[in-house]
Structure 1
Amino acid sequence: MQHIVDAIDSLDRQDGGSASAVSADFSALELPGSYRAVTLRKEETEMFTGIPSAEKDPRKSLHVQAVATPELGPGEALVAVMASSVNYNTVWSSIFEPVPTFGFLERYARLSPQSARHDLPYHVIGSDLAGVVLRTGPGVNAWKPGDEVVAHCLSVELESSDGHNDTMLDPEQRIWGFETNFGGLAEIALVKSNQLMPKPDHLSWEEAAA
């Protein structure tokens, strides 16, 4: 991962090459086979049974571990995460309330072979990020490697017409990093490309992620 971080640190669009040259540089970066991520483990979902919510300690359920880099699918992007954030989804996930998130991953896995990748014995959580696009999947035209982005948390399939007027009405809408895997509390995240927005230049990585 360090070579990716070094490339991002040296990125200066004000002094240097064109956007196409920057994209080519990032496209040429070798992706690691694994990366560090904050995870929950399926085998531990009952660890807080019988304990009042206020006494459940996320330090016991959250782990930093190496996970395999997921395969990139159509309409998706892999993003190098420069900053992330903790929100209520993360807190709920970490104490397995109101229900463990692994049930969401199991249901999502039944939707398609592509979504089956999300059903794993670990859950990479986190629904916020600011970072740099590393790769885009087939059908992605609005984003390219090297783009500085912020990701919002709504993951939608948009196969039903219901979601085209209001994505919250899509019957397959989910919260990324909560009801899907490969979230933002990690060195790399997998997102749908329609979650991405340009990172405002005047914000730091941390400000943008929050």
Structure 2
Amino acid sequence: MQQAVVTGDPGALAGLRVPESYRGVTVHAEETEMFEGIAGADKDPRKSLHVEEVPTPELGPGEALIAVMASAINYNTVWTSIFEPLPTFRFLRRYGKLSPLAKRHDLPHHVVGSDASGVVLRTGPGVHRWKPGDEVVAHCLSVELEGPEGHDDTMLDSEQ
């Protein structure tokens, strides 16, 4: 698998079996209150972060599955890990109510990380620009573009 991903050969990538799970770093919804009453500077992310196997999500329309080759820790990761300023589960629960596809994000755990680079393994229906083997950079911007505000400036999208 590693050789196919590193070389980016679309034919070799198409023949790879996508694993049913992967190792990810998560936070758990049941722990969102663990730091209550503790100053932000004293909250220790090592207490809330868990390294565990999580199911590989089903690939949906407009989505791509990438083999992550590098990822970053940034302020989003730190805030998620200390549930500050708000736990991400509130946003994911609200997002999950938008559609059956979005419901997949309303889970009792959240895989942290908002920036990554890697190689496209598969693409879902409606993805035309990217193909297996493409090297990509991903970031945390999620835009549904169902509201007109986001078409001129994605930061104004009502679901951003």
* TM score, norm. by length of structure 2: 0.96
Alpha-carbon displacement from aligned partner over 1:91-145 (angstroms, at most 9, x marks no partner): 1111111111111110000010000000111000111001000110001110011
Partner SS state of residue 102, structure 1: helix
Hey, what does 1:102 align to over in structure 2? 89
How far is 1:55 from its partner?
A: 0.9
Aligned residues: 160
Hey, what does 1:74 align to over in structure 2? 61
How far is 1:165 from its partner?
A: 1.1
How far is 1:6 from its partner?
A: 3.2
Alpha-carbon displacement from aligned partner over 1:36-91 (angstroms, at most 9, x marks no partner): 00100111111111111111100010011000010111100111100000111111
Hey, what does 1:47 align to over in structure 2? 34
Instruction: Output the CA distance in 1 between the equivalents of 2:36 and 2:156.
Output: 34
Hey, what does 1:93 align to over in structure 2? 80
Of the candidates 129, 137, 154, which is equivalent to residue 116 of structure 2? 129
Alpha-carbon displacement from aligned partner over 1:11-59 (angstroms, at most 9, x marks no partner): 17xxxxxxxxx21221111000000001001111111111111111000
Which amino acid letter does the alignment assign opposite residue 111 of structure 2?
V
Gaps spanning 5+ residues in structure 2: where?
none
Kindly indicate whether residue 149 of structure 2 is the aligned counterpart of residue 170 of structure 1: no
Partner SS state of residue 158, structure 2: coil
Instruction: Output the CA distance in 2 between the equivalents of 1:88 and 1:152.
Output: 13
Instruction: Output the CA distance in 2 between the equivalents of 1:44 and 1:172.
Output: 26
Of the candidates 4, 7, 17, which is equivalent to residue 4 of structure 2? 7
Gaps spanning 5+ residues in structure 1: where?
13-21, 174-210
Q: Give me the identity figure in percent.
A: 68
Partner SS state of residue 47, structure 1: coil
Of the candidates 128, 134, 137, which is equivalent to residue 150 of structure 1? 137
Partner SS state of residue 93, structure 1: helix
Partner SS state of residue 154, structure 1: coil
Instruction: Output the CA distance in 1 between the equivalents of 2:34 and 2:45.
Output: 11
* TM score, norm. by length of structure 1: 0.74
Instruction: Output the CA distance in 1 between the equivalents of 2:153 and 2:107.
Output: 30
Alpha-carbon displacement from aligned partner over 1:169-197 (angstroms, at most 9, x marks no partner): 11111xxxxxxxxxxxxxxxxxxxxxxxx
Instruction: Output the CA distance in 2 between the equivalents of 1:53 and 1:163.
Output: 33
